[in-house]
């Protein structure tokens, strides 16, 4: 684990394709950044998306929240941090925080993304919620004591 319990840290610059005409991040960009964080982390623990799907399972997103605390601009250096926010028997909620990665900045979070995914078995009739696999549970920290209680998917 990384800084303050982060499962994964990515550093990058805000590319032009992630900004609007005012050169401020487009509102949907942090969702892609968050997906990159959790899919990269899953790959590092031996669960790349392609293999999860090939095995007949998936992790569809069922809920997402974004909070913008300050703008991030074109070419600004960013530090993205992935943390476990909550887990249940069949779902996991990731907290992805994006900070200015500049020594002159106070380092406060600029954008926070919460995204809940349910582990499912892909069935011809549709996805069926399944228990989180041991391979994933073995790499997750104990759930934070003060985490919000997410509604348990069926």
In-domain check, residue 152: no
Cα torsion through 63, 7, 31, 74, rounded to 10: 160
With respect to residue 106, please indicate whether it lies within any of the assigned structural domains.
yes
**Residues 63, 116 contacting (CB under 8 angstroms):** yes
pLDDT score, position 5: 84
Name the residue with higher pLDDT: 146 or 43. Answer: 43
Tokens of 81: 């941090």
Q: What is the pLDDT of residues 45-69, one digit of tens each?
A: 999 999 999 999 999 999 999 999 9
Q: What pLDDT shows up at residue 150?
A: 52
Query: Reduced to 3 states, what is the DSSP secondary structure of residue 39?
Result: helix
CATH number of the domain encompassing residue 102: 3.10.129.10
User: Containing domain of residue 132, as a range?
Assistant: 3-137
- pLDDT for 102 equals 80
Residue 17 CB: number of other CB atoms within 10 A?
9
In a domain, 151, yes or no: no
70 lies in a domain?
Answer: yes
Is residue 126 left, alpha or beta, with left meaning phi > 0 and alpha meaning psi from -120 to 50?
A: left
Instruction: List the end-to-end C-alpha distance of the chain, in Å, as a whole number.
Output: 31
Mean of pLDDT values over 21-45: 97
Q: Tell me: the pLDDT tens digits for 101-139?
A: 986 666 699 999 999 999 999 999 999 999 999 999 999
Q: How many domains does the chain have?
A: 1
Q: How far is Cα 122 from Cα 57, in angstroms, rounded to an integer?
A: 5
Q: Which two tokens stand for residue 107?
A: 């380092």
């Amino acid at each position: 684990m990384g800084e303050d319990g982060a499962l994964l840290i990515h550093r990058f610059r805000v590319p032009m394709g992630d900004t609007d005409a005012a050169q401020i991040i487009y509102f949907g960009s942090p969702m892609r950044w968050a997906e990159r964080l959790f899919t990269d982390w899953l790959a590092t623990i031996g669960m790349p998306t392609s293999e999860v799907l090939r095995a007949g399972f998936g992790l569809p997103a069922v809920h997402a929240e974004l909070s913008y605390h300050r703008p991030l601009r074109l070419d600004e250096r960013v530090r993205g941090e992935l943390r476990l926010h909550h887990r249940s028997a069949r779902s996991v909620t990731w907290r992805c925080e994006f900070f200015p990665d500049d020594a002159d900045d106070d380092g406060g979070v600029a954008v926070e993304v919460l995204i809940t995914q349910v582990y499912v078995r892909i069935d011809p009739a549709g996805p069926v919620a399944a228990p989180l696999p041991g391979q994933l549970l073995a790499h997750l920290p104990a759930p934070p004591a003060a985490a919000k209680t997410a509604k348990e998917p069926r």
